[in-house]
């Protein structure tokens, strides 16, 4: 068997080996029908079963309350940055956003192009999550939008605000299904699949059906949530293979103990790396305040950019992939999504210890 790389890519990211092997086995002949999943019609009973089973697995894993719908859309989370205000920011209302990092900033940019938008909270620096304890949303608030985990900055909320009658909307692209979640606290949440759910190509939206009542009548058909709810995500040709892979990943999560087990695994994995950083006497420097640290994305720095480049070169030679920080912030970053095995995180921790010994 070919040795697999230690994959710490931020997205598209690692997939469970068991899922890849199952997809490989079924690649040319799905359940004896003589065709690949990539060849079947989205109107076929085979795909309708895939589509429905994936929705049912989300409902089971999240203990989804009545009155919520699961949608499989296209365009990535970035398309949701515009689709949310198009559908929810009605005349006379104001969209409220938490500015927590790079992805929140992009969402705000799109909302401002649609209608009245204000920043409800922001930190002095993107080294911690903004404090949401003193929110003042006002009677004209259409919704409050937050980003649960900033992939680039490596900050993550460990709890969420009670917004009362104001709908709470969350971009959970980089930490969805990494831990148990009370979906009833949210009116709409969304996530691009390519980090924790499957390959790129599909975006999951989970929303209260109550939000469908005030959608503006003049929106184009494809940009209306009610279009996709009525059609059960089958209005147009869906990303069939991506949804199939999401279903396999959901089955893997269920078979491996569900979300509580995922959270325990993720904390154990990231502790291996955070411990090396914290005990390095400044050789490695974390960029996030401890209370806001993500269990999905770990950004860190070395003393000089030259030393960081040396680290990356040696890491690549040793099979570590995806450790370069985002181009907007530099440095280093390890993304430790659900499918990244503990063994990879242990190997990285050991490599970091050796690199420090050789260069400290």
- Residue 80, both tokens: 């949701």
Please pick, among 69, 93, 175, 195, the residue that the annotation labels catalytic: 195
Nearest to 92 by CA among 145, 143, 140: 140
Give kind and range of the element (H or E) at residue 298.
strand 297-301
31 carries an active-site annotation: no
Q: What are phi and psi of 143, to 5 degrees?
A: -175, 165
How many Cα neighbours within 13 Å face the side chain of 330?
Answer: 9
Nearest to 98 by CA among 173, 34, 8, 160: 160
Please pick, among 93, 103, 175, 269, the residue that the annotation labels catalytic: 103
Please pick, among 69, 93, 171, 175, the residue that the annotation labels catalytic: 171
Contacting residues for 106 by C-beta, under 8 A, at least 6 apart? 78, 81
How many Cα neighbours within 13 Å face the side chain of 203?
Answer: 22
Continuous H helices in the chain: 17-26, 45-61, 76-88, 102-114, 225-230, 240-255, 258-278, 305-317, 342-359
Dihedral sign of CA atoms 94, 98, 99, 103 in order? negative
171 carries an active-site annotation: yes
162 carries an active-site annotation: no
Active-site positions read 103, 171, 195
């Amino acid at each position: 068997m070919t040795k697999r790389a230690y994959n710490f890519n931020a997205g598209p990211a690692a997939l469970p080996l068991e899922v890849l092997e199952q997809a490989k086995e079924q690649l040319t002949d799905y359940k004896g029908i003589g065709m690949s999943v990539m060849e079947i019609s989205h109107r076929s009973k085979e795909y309708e079963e895939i589509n429905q089973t994936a929705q049912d697995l989300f409902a089971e894993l999240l203990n989804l309350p009545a009155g919520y719908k699961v949608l499989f859309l296209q365009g990535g989370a970035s398309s949701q940055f515009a689709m949310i205000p198009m559908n929810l920011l009605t005349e006379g209302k104001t969209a409220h956003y938490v500015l927590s990092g790079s992805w929140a900033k992009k969402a705000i940019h799109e909302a401002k192009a649609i209608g009245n938008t204000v920043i409800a909270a922001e930190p002095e620096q993107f080294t911690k999550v903004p404090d949401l304890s003193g929110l003042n949303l006002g009677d004209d608030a259409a919704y409050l939008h937050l980003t649960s985990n900033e992939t680039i900055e490596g900050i993550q909320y460990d709890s969420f605000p009670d917004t009362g009658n104001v709908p709470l909307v969350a971009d959970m692209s980089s930490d969805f299904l990494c831990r148990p979640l009370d979906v009833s606290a949210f009116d709409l949440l969304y996530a691009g699949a390519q980090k924790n759910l499957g390959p790129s190509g599909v975006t999951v939206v989970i929303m209260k059906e109550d939000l469908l009542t005030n959608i503006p009548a003049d929106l184009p058909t494809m940009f209306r949530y009610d279009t996709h709810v009525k059609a059960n995500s089958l209005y147009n040709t869906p990303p069939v293979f991506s949804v199939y892979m999401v279903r396999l990943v959901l089955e893997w999560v269920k078979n491996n103990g569900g979300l509580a087990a995922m959270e325990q695994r993720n904390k154990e994995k990231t502790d291996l790396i955070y411990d090396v950083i914290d005990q390095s006497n400044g050789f490695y420097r974390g960029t996030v305040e401890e209370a806001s640290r993500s269990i999905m994305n770990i950004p860190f720095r070395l003393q000089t950019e030259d030393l960081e480049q040396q680290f990356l070169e040696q890491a690549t030679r040793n099979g570590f992939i995806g450790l370069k920080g985002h181009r907007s912030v530099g440095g280093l970053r390890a993304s430790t999504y659900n499918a990244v095995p503990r063994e990879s995180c242990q190997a990285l921790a050991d490599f970091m210890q050796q690199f420090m010994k050789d260069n400290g």
